[in-house]
Structure 1
Amino acid sequence: MAVTPRLTWLEEKSLRNLLGNASLSLLYKGSVHGYSIGDMFQRCSRQGTTMTMIYLQEETFGVLMLGHIPTIADGFEKPHISFCFSLQRKGTVIQIPTSFLNLLKVTSDCLEFSSSDGLIFSVYPEKNLLSLHHLLVKQLGLQSYSSSQFLEYEVFRVEGIKDDPDCIKMMMTATQHRRKLLADLRDYKPHADLVSNIRILLLGPVGSGKSSFFNSVKSVFHDHITHQAPVGSDNISITEQYRMYSVRNGKYGQYLPFTLCDSMGLDETDDVGLCLDDIPYILKGCVPDRYQFNPCNPITPKHPNFITSPSLKDRIHCVAYVLDINSVNNLSSKMAAKLKQIHEEVLNCGVAHVALFTKVNNCDEVLQNNLLNMTRKMTSQSQVMFINKMLGIPLSNILMVGNYASEQELNPVKDVLILSALRQMLRAADDFLEDLPDDS
């Protein structure tokens, strides 16, 4: 008969997200296999990285141990790298990036862990007792007392992650930062309530990843991969209509206060791709949703759906130049000239602007350890300096993402880059709104 874990589907999903979509397989369940150190070691030794879940009355305490749980023959004071965390109600993960360097003590009735800063916890399986240092209780956000009876004790094998402490720490930190970014963006309101919705225009060469960026943003807010906007190839623009994409806060949630406006790709050949004469009208808010682009015939006020008197809410509040980081240094002189011509129009309209590099392969190397800023190595890359010099965009407004293309699951580090880019676009739009004259 199969043994069913106490861990719920929602909790397991939170843990898998925490670890970058690792898989969990139940090895040991105290109420089934016996509450003793010997029983646990017999079933869990030499199984690779494991996750121990200790279920308290209102919350769950967890420990991720990298590498094998030792056998009796290995000795019981062999150093191990471990991380502890807590699971709150509704599957919310709160984690602490402290490394527990040693499995200090194993007796017939006790497991004891200690960290370099002295935080200790002990487990007494036969007594169903968990003892935690009071600082650890506070840092993990636990409501229980330092010494608590637990309801169940389970150990899972963890597969699909690197046994690399730095990688695990980055993933766990990214999950925490992702949650904060989502909360900030869900609470976002445009500056001074001048408009109820920020409009961000995505402009860039064919195949640069404009539609994919919208799909990626929606995927993060929906917590699963989505492909609403059709995506073309590097050479063919599949976007032929002007599309205004809104994003819900979850599948059935309210619409968030921003719209991503997708445009036809730019092409270096004349009469192919987005017509530059359309851009002033797009920026001013004269072009309606689902307008069919014609590279040879730009929109005019005679078009039946032309918006003749656009208000501030109809205008573009931020332009994002979307560029493939792998081909920026190889832009043709014609494409560079088109981008400069567009940027002059953007500057004339006073619209906020950022550059968004897509197709970044090494997402985990982009951000510093605190995930708040890009590393100096990334900001000094030739692609960054090229766009900084060509368009005069400040380094703080040159952003990097790895859009979701072929993936089936979300990655917290990718999500942090996507959400950080969106937040910077909204901040740039707020600067634009704040700088408007009083009679706008």
Structure 2
Amino acid sequence: MAVTTRLTWNEEKTLQKLLGNVSLSLLYKSSVHECSIEDMLNKCNHQGSTITVTYFPNYIVGAFLLGNYPQKGEYCRNQNSSFYFSLKTNKTETTTFFNVKPEIVSEKLEFYSSNDIIFSLIPHKSQVFIHPSLKIPLGIKGLNSTNYLECEVFRVEGIKNNKGYIRRITGVAQFRNKLLSELRAYTPCTDLVSEINILLLGPVGSGKSSFFNSVKSVFRGHVTRQAAVGSDVTSITELYRMYSIQDEKDGKSLPFTLCDTMGLDEKGGVGLCMDDIPHIFKGCVPDRYHFRPQQPITSRHPTFITSPSLKDRIHCVAYVLDINCIDSLSFEMVAKFKQVQKIVLNYGVPQVALLTKVKNYHGVLQEDFLNMNNSMTSQSQIMKIQAMLKIPISNILMVENYAPEWEQDPLKDVLILSALRQMLRAADDYLDDLPPGITDEVAGMSQINMCD
């Protein structure tokens, strides 16, 4: 009979993603094999990099070890890269990185860091010891029992045998969780609005709807495709959609809205009507309004919002562009962007550029993953966008959306969340620059009258 893991499908996928989408092969299971250090070593020796997993009622705690298990009685002089993880029943996970020395001592597998034992596995007693310095970053301070329900060891297949690689991918996971926490706690900088409205503008097929789907996927914990996407020559999006995002963690709506529009087209009378854009910025266009390229919305439309306030307006605009098509943008399309920018500048709304379909985004692991602009694409592409749109380089953002994939990637999540964070910061700067003492209604009306 085949030996199967206690991990759920989602838990196994989480561990695979932590290590860069590797494969896991079960080597040892304490409830099936003998519970002694010798039996564990017989199954796990000379197997390369491994993950050792221990199960508790509300937690899964384990350790990754780069390289082979230590031999019994052999002192391991060289430090090996390792990280420790905890998975909780509410699907959250935390990781922390240590350089450790693994040793087999008195029927125990012990991991030393700076001469302190930080993690110790005692198979014949079904116990683990976890140092308090490890419990705190893993979020398992409440884990008081040392007796585990089960222990399993997996061989990790497809891992790069490189200490720097392990440090970087675990750093990506930690930074992803930090960004998630920051955005979950975000509130607009002023009481004038409770939500930030971000408008996505760009050519047909540039990835506007896909970006919304990607943001929603990160906060939902799985890939979702609420907004229809496609690669037709005409726009798939025909409705104006104001998408809110619900957080999987508590089910609450997050304080920002992504506003998806019909694609811009270089031809006249096709795609998003330019006369609709001022009404969108002013907050006059309702959710689910059906765009008509040759017939812009007017105040006579039955759903036209006649008295919008600041909370209805657009607070940041993101020009969405396929990074692979920047060199082939037609003169007509560039001219259309210039026309849009004149409208945007009249309203004083902050602008960012969102470059999508960055296929070499994994190259960021070769450098500091925080230095995304330098790592993922040539400076020439960024400079072309900067010259065309006159946007600060810090506001030129890059992502690879979730399109054909069904599984999440921590590095994609980092890029998506970083782009969203920069959009919200730009919107905060705009709101913070409003005149002191202004009210929601006055701010809304003054901005409407600016271009009427």
Whether these two folds match at TM > 0.5 is yes
Secondary structure at the aligned position of 2:423 is classed as: helix
1:66 maps to 66
CA distance in structure 1 between the partners assigned to 2:322 and 2:278 by the alignment? 24
Compute the RMSD of aligned alpha carbons: 3.2
1:236 maps to 234
Change in Cα spacing, 1:394 to 1:366, as seen in structure 2 (3 Å) is farther
Q: Which 10-residue stretch deviates more, 162-171 or 329-338?
A: 162-171
Letter in 2 for 1:407: E
Q: Which 10-residue stretch deviates more, 61-70 or 179-188?
A: 61-70
Q: Does 1:26 align with 2:49?
A: no
Q: Does 1:398 align with 2:396?
A: yes
State the 1:372 CA deviation: 4.2
Letter in 2 for 1:51: I
2:265 maps to 267
Q: Deviations over 1:61-81 (max 9, x none)?
A: 422123444778x97748574
Matches within 5 A, 1:253-402: 253-366=251-364, 371-378=369-376, 381-402=379-400
CA distance in structure 2 between the partners assigned to 1:139 and 1:58 by the alignment? 17
2:449 maps to none
1:428 maps to 426
Change in Cα spacing, 1:228 to 1:128, as seen in structure 2 (3 Å) is closer
CA distance in structure 1 between the partners assigned to 2:130 and 2:222 by the alignment? 36
- Which residue among 168, 171, 174 is the counterpart of 1:170? 168
2:193 maps to 195
CA distance in structure 1 between the partners assigned to 2:136 and 2:302 by the alignment? 63
Q: Which 10-residue stretch deviates more, 189-198 or 80-89?
A: 80-89
Q: Which 10-residue stretch deviates more, 21-30 or 335-344?
A: 21-30
TM-score (norm 1): 0.87
State the 1:201 CA deviation: 0.6
Q: Does 1:96 align with 2:96?
A: yes
TM-score (norm 2): 0.85
Change in Cα spacing, 1:80 to 1:146, as seen in structure 2 (3 Å) is farther
CA distance in structure 2 between the partners assigned to 1:150 and 1:303 by the alignment? 65
1:407 maps to 405
Secondary structure at the aligned position of 2:204 is classed as: coil
State the 1:19 CA deviation: 3.0
List alignment gaps of at least 5 residues for structure 1: none
Q: Deviations over 1:163-202 (max 9, x none)?
A: 4443333332222222222222222222222112211110
Q: Which 10-residue stretch deviates more, 187-196 or 261-270?
A: 187-196
Change in Cα spacing, 1:235 to 1:145, as seen in structure 2 (3 Å) is closer
Letter in 2 for 1:230: A
State the 1:266 CA deviation: 1.2
CA distance in structure 2 between the partners assigned to 1:255 and 1:141 by the alignment? 25
Secondary structure at the aligned position of 1:247 is classed as: strand
CA distance in structure 2 between the partners assigned to 1:386 and 1:138 by the alignment? 46
State the 1:341 CA deviation: 1.4
Q: Which 10-residue stretch deviates more, 234-243 or 151-160?
A: 151-160
Identity within the alignment, %? 58
Letter in 2 for 1:392: K
Q: Which 10-residue stretch deviates more, 56-65 or 315-324?
A: 56-65
Change in Cα spacing, 1:30 to 1:79, as seen in structure 2 (3 Å) is farther
State the 1:236 CA deviation: 3.0
8 Å contact from structure 1 (residues 326, 359) kept in 2: yes
CA distance in structure 2 between the partners assigned to 1:388 and 1:367 by the alignment? 25
Q: Deviations over 1:264-291 (max 9, x none)?
A: 1112222222122221111111222222
Query: Aligned residue pairs: how many?
Result: 436
Secondary structure at the aligned position of 1:429 is classed as: helix
Secondary structure at the aligned position of 2:285 is classed as: coil
CA distance in structure 1 between the partners assigned to 2:93 and 2:202 by the alignment? 38
